[in-house]
Amino acid sequence: MLKILVVEDDWEMNRSICYILEENGYETVPAHSIVEAQKVYEDGKADLVLLDVNLPDGEGFGFCEWLRERSRVPVLFLTARDLEEDALRGYELGAEDYVTKPFSMKILLKKIDVILKRSREDQGQIFDDGFLRIDLIRARAEAGGKDCQVTPTEFRLLREFLAHRGQLLTYDVLLERLWDEGNQFVDRHALAVNINRLRGKIEDEDHRYISNVYGMGYQWFGQ
């Protein structure tokens, strides 16, 4: 489950934010000061940090910097201070967003959802239906629960398909992007062989992902 660190000194506010987040399927850890937040973070990291600016032992900006020195966890500022310069400062420190109170909880939830999805995509499975799971950072694929050894070339194909799901990728485009020379005649066959090998690893009678468009190229289906 995804864990959100909520740094907010108003206990009532903190509790209600945590409550709503938990109702929406997140795990939450509350902190009411910078020191507490640091301790909590070092204990068990977090997937996202909701951060107030006004805290009893300093400004949230400082904690944000402290975080940036040790990780790239996304930070979302959540504050009553509606000053342009504060927002700018937040963004400069690498925050994902700067939301001022009062705010719509629905929109906050949506933003959190978007940020977490994005940060997972940055480092992790950009693709995961029940059957096939592809981990872009580790260059690994899993089909039907079993790790299928994807070779570098096959993985480049996967990445290309996932970056343009649903779109037709012509032979020329694929050849150019994977081999960086437009070897038109000869290597169209090599491409077919690699597609074939990839299919053999990730497909199934019930799970087809790559389809051929006669005379044109290939196309990725699914999600």
Q: Given the complex with DNA, which of 51 and 202 has the nearer CB atom? A: 202
One DSSP character per residue, 129-167 reads: -SSEEEETTTTEEEETTEEE---HHHHHHHHHHHHTTTS
Smallest gap from Cβ 189 to DNA, in A, equals 6
Q: Given the complex with DNA, which of 68 and 199 has the nearer CB atom? A: 199
List interacting residues with a copy of itself (CB under 8 A): 69-70, 72, 84, 87-88, 91-92, 97, 104, 106-107, 110-111, 113-114, 121-123, 137-139, 152, 156, 159, 163, 166-167, 177
Which residues in the 157-186 window bind DNA by CB under 7 A?
Answer: 171, 179, 186
Examine residue 149 and tell whether it contacts DNA (CB under 7 A): yes
Smallest gap from Cβ 167 to DNA, in A, equals 16
Q: What track of x and - describes contact with DNA for positions 109 through 148 (by CB under 7 A)? A: ----------------------------------------
Tokens of 109: 């939830």
Strands 75-79 and 97-100: what pairing? parallel
Amino acid at 195: I
Helix (H, G, I), strand (E, B), or coil: what is residue 73?
A: coil
Angle at which helix 60-70 crosses helix 84-92, to 10 degrees, equals 10
Strands 217-220 and 146-148: what pairing? unpaired
Q: What track of x and - describes contact with DNA for positions 189 through 218 (by CB under 7 A)? A: xx-xxxxxx-xx-----------xxxxx--
By the 8 A CB rule, do 78 and 105 touch?
no
In angstroms, rounded to a whole number, what is the distance separating the alpha carbons of residues 223 and 218? 16
Smallest gap from Cβ 84 to DNA, in A, equals 47
Number of residues forming the site for DNA (CB under 7 A): 25
